[in-house]
Structure 1
Amino acid sequence: MRSPARGGRPSAAVVGAAAVVAAVLAALLAWSLWPSGAPVPSDFGERPRAQEPTAEPSFGVHDNGPNGAENASGPIPEPTALRVPRISLEVQVQDIGVRDDGTVEVPDSAGQAGWYRYGPAPGAPAGSAVLIGHVDDRTGELGAFAKLYGVRKGDDVTVAREGAPPVRYEATAREVVDKDRLPDEVFRRHGRPVLTLVTCAPPYDRQRGGYQRNLLVYAVPARDRGY
């Protein structure tokens, strides 16, 4: 899998959220083989809004406390792994961008997740950090993000990072949306920080290009929830 040089900004990555959304959907749907009769996970919670704060966020963006938040003036370490203990989800994370044709790069393996590096990183003081994963692979084997179908409100979510303490989140919401209606908030760079996990959801329709929906799981910094 080819990755653009770090720091590069292909034009498709900065045109706007709509182009990124289309690229994400196209990449995920290319791997879609799960049976069309697979159950659709139920929604819970409310999608985190930007809610631009008027004061410093409560989880402390200017300290390096137990949640791993970084000083806003310094670089944010790259994520290396994602862990959700209750559902036995533990997956390595690699950085992904966009190809020259405007489609998003995705992990070669369904057992890995990709961090969209042109957006915020987990632990950033603002915006939505996006991790993308497959629900299955071309052989029909389930991917790592298939386990997101079992996530519950309040689940502990931890992102390990290169050369820095892990950052902790708490799952607060999950929703299933049509593939052509991925919320713009998913790729926002402003507002209160959130971790957004993206994978595919039934129904699967081969004639229409694969899965027709996407599963989105949202998690907020743990200290925002009283830790």
Structure 2
Amino acid sequence: MPDLPGPRTGGGRRALGVAAAAVALTGAVFVGCGVLPADRPPVPPPAAARTATVDGGTAAVSERISSPGGPVLGPSEPRRLDIPKIGVHVTLGRLGLKPDGTVQVPPLDHPEEAGWYAHGAAPGERGAAVILGHVDGAGRKGVFYDLGRMRPGDIVEVGRADGSVARFVVESVEMVPKKRFPTRRVYGPLDHAGLRLVTCGGVFDRRIGHYTDNVILYARLTTR
């Protein structure tokens, strides 16, 4: 898994420098994920994204990721995640930081759960909201096993504590090597309300004990 941003600083700005330096969340956290050896998670096709240079490496990103403005909502914690296309309908947990500075993740023995990284934006606020989930675990498919099936134009909905529903349209889905994870693209500042869903993907390397890649979905708040 990728580097994650640190807590908000004064004025609501994300400490992106802290992300790379002190809040590293690597694939090692997901040791034991690869428990479905005969079944590989779906892989997003190249057509679901374009190629661009990000964070000094090459990563697939949407043409519209950098487009300005758009609707935003006020702050309110997310409570539920619904992705009709892949049958995801789950209550969201709240993820913070562990004592060693790494980010918490949903429990591996409950791979059907997903969690919102609470030190980032809330879904619907201006900024990057990040939700993490396992691809598999405990011998079962995880909540984001089928994330690679998502395509631009698909819809993701997040139910919020204030009773509102933040509705996002998918802009791109990419699979990137963990060694070239696009930290700034995923966690950096935005001028619109963005959502990123992140899980493991690609090939499970039994030698190192985790997946070699990440699958990342980029979406933005929509009124449609």
- TM-score category of the 2 structures, normalised to the smaller one: 0.7 to 0.9
The 5 A counterparts of 1:60-71 are 61=72, 69-70=73-74
Residue 65 of structure 1 corresponds to none
Contact 1:50 1:191 survives alignment (8 Å): no
Residue 116 of structure 1 corresponds to 117
**Mind listing any 5+ residue stretches in structure 1 that lack a counterpart?**
1-6, 62-68, 71-75
Residue 198 of structure 1 corresponds to 198
Residue 28 of structure 2 corresponds to 26
Distance 1:99 1:164 in 2: 30
Percent identity of equivalent pairs: 36
Asked if 1:17 corresponds to 2:14, the answer is no
Equivalent residue letter for 2:88: L
Contact 2:106 2:113 survives alignment (8 Å): yes
Distance 2:147 2:119 in 1: 23
Question: For each residue in 1:85-111, what CA deviation from the matched residue of structure 2 results, as whole angstroms up to 9, or x when unmatched?
Answer: 122111211110110112221112211
CA 37–165 in structure 1, closer or farther in 2 if over 3 Å, else same:
closer
Distance 2:213 2:23 in 1: 13
Offset at 1:14?
6.8
Distance 2:22 2:198 in 1: 13
Offset at 1:196?
0.3
Residue 49 of structure 2 corresponds to 45
The more displaced of 189-198 and 93-102 is: 189-198
**Mind listing any 5+ residue stretches in structure 2 that lack a counterpart?**
1-6, 10-14, 51-60
Contact 1:37 1:203 survives alignment (8 Å): no
Offset at 1:41?
3.0
CA 156–201 in structure 1, closer or farther in 2 if over 3 Å, else same:
same
Distance 2:21 2:113 in 1: 23
Asked if 1:58 corresponds to 2:40, the answer is no
> Secondary structure at the residue paired with 2:146?
helix
Q: Which structure has the highest strand share of the two?
A: 2
The 5 A counterparts of 1:92-171 are 92-108=91-107, 109-125=110-126, 127-137=127-137, 139-171=138-170
Contact 2:70 2:193 survives alignment (8 Å): no
Runs of 4+, deviation exceeding 6 Å: none
> Secondary structure at the residue paired with 1:40?
coil
Count of matched residue positions in the alignment of Structure 1 and Structure 2:
197
Residue 215 of structure 1 corresponds to 215
Distance 1:181 1:29 in 2: 19
Distance 1:142 1:20 in 2: 30
TM-score for both structures, normalised by structure 2: 0.77
Offset at 1:27?
2.5
Offset at 1:50?
6.5
Contact 2:153 2:169 survives alignment (8 Å): yes
The more displaced of 86-95 and 184-193 is: 184-193
> Secondary structure at the residue paired with 1:146?
coil
Question: For each residue in 1:134-160, what CA deviation from the matched residue of structure 2 results, as whole angstroms up to 9, or x when unmatched?
Answer: 0111x3200111121221221111001
Superposed CA RMSD: 2.6
